[in-house]
Amino acid sequence: CVVVAEPSGDRPDARHAWSVHDVNRPDPVKITVPQNGIPSDAIVLFDGTAESVRKNWRSRAGEASKWTVKDGTFVCVPGSGPAVTAEKFADCQLHIEWKTPVDDVEGWGNSGVIFMGQYEIQILDSSAIEPSKSPWKPANYADGQAGAVYGQNPPLVNPCRKPGEWQSYDIVFHPPVREGRRLVDPGSITVFFNGVLVQDDFPFQGTTTWCRRLKTHAEAPEAPLYLQDH
């Protein structure tokens, strides 16, 4: 262990473990990021192959996922249930690319990315939101459109592309924090949809669900990631 005595700024306090400009403070871990590539420290959950599905994805019951691979794409099999990661996650940054089918006139490709099995970012064809004469909009209510924290917070803007076109989410997820059984932080989420900020450090109001405001929060320190089959 080497400790260097050098001038530094304001000293540590209750909030800061280090002095300002402290030369003993550890440097960030160095990673590599190829042009348009994958960061060297990323966990690749799907690489376009059936082998990566067998390695990384399960059914809700823990069996092999029934989702298929076609032309390098991970394809939901309707009625098969969600695709669930074999690995568990807590704090994470997720990059996912998705597209909805061009012929799903009833369901608009309704799906979702669900963290810890409880917090959903909606996936849906929200490319053409139009008023409707019925109580329902052609592409769902505002807090159920693509990029929404489902049932809690609509996206700030709607950058959704047309069905059949690739879209992307870059999501920063922070799970709830507890001290013993007491909830001290409900957790939060930030979402970039096709490169546009649509959720800005939104604090979870509870578990996301249909038509209800639940006060419950995840209790496990980490849990699998779900891709919804709706």
pLDDT of residue 3: 64
Which of 194, 147, 202 has its CA nearest to residue 174? Answer: 202
47-103, pLDDT tens digit by residue?
999 999 999 999 999 999 999 999 999 999 989 999 999 999 999 999 999 999 998
Radius of gyration of the chain (CA): 21
Token code pair at residue 153: 């917070």
Q: Region 130-154: what's the mean pLDDT?
A: 78
Q: What is the pLDDT of residue 131?
A: 47
CA 159/CA 202 separation, integer angstroms: 18
Q: Which two tokens stand for residue 105?
A: 């006139």
Say what the pTM is: 0.89
Are 163 and 139 in contact, with CB atoms under 8 Å apart? Answer: no
Provide the sign of the torsion angle of the four alpha carbons 85, 40, 195, 185, taken in this order: positive
